[in-house]
Amino acid sequence: MPFAQIYMLEGRTEEQKRAVIEKVTQALFEAVGAPRETVRVWIHDVPKENWGIAGVSAKDLGR
């Protein structure tokens, strides 16, 4: 059972998250032949103040 964890900054729409889940599932199906029903995708919405880039939070960078 393939299990994919995706870390993204918060702020994506539900529609965007659905697209990520669909495309990651399809990629695992194509790459390793995993049946779609066995693929699990976990999206972690990370608060912008908890994501650092070059020593500065993503929130402070305006991301």
Q: Which residues are catalytic?
A: 2
Please say whether the beta carbons of 8 and 48 come within 8 A.
Answer: no
Give the C-alpha separation, 39 to 29, whole Å. Answer: 8
Q: Where are the beta strands (DSSP E) in 1-63?
A: 3-9, 40-46, 52-53, 56-57
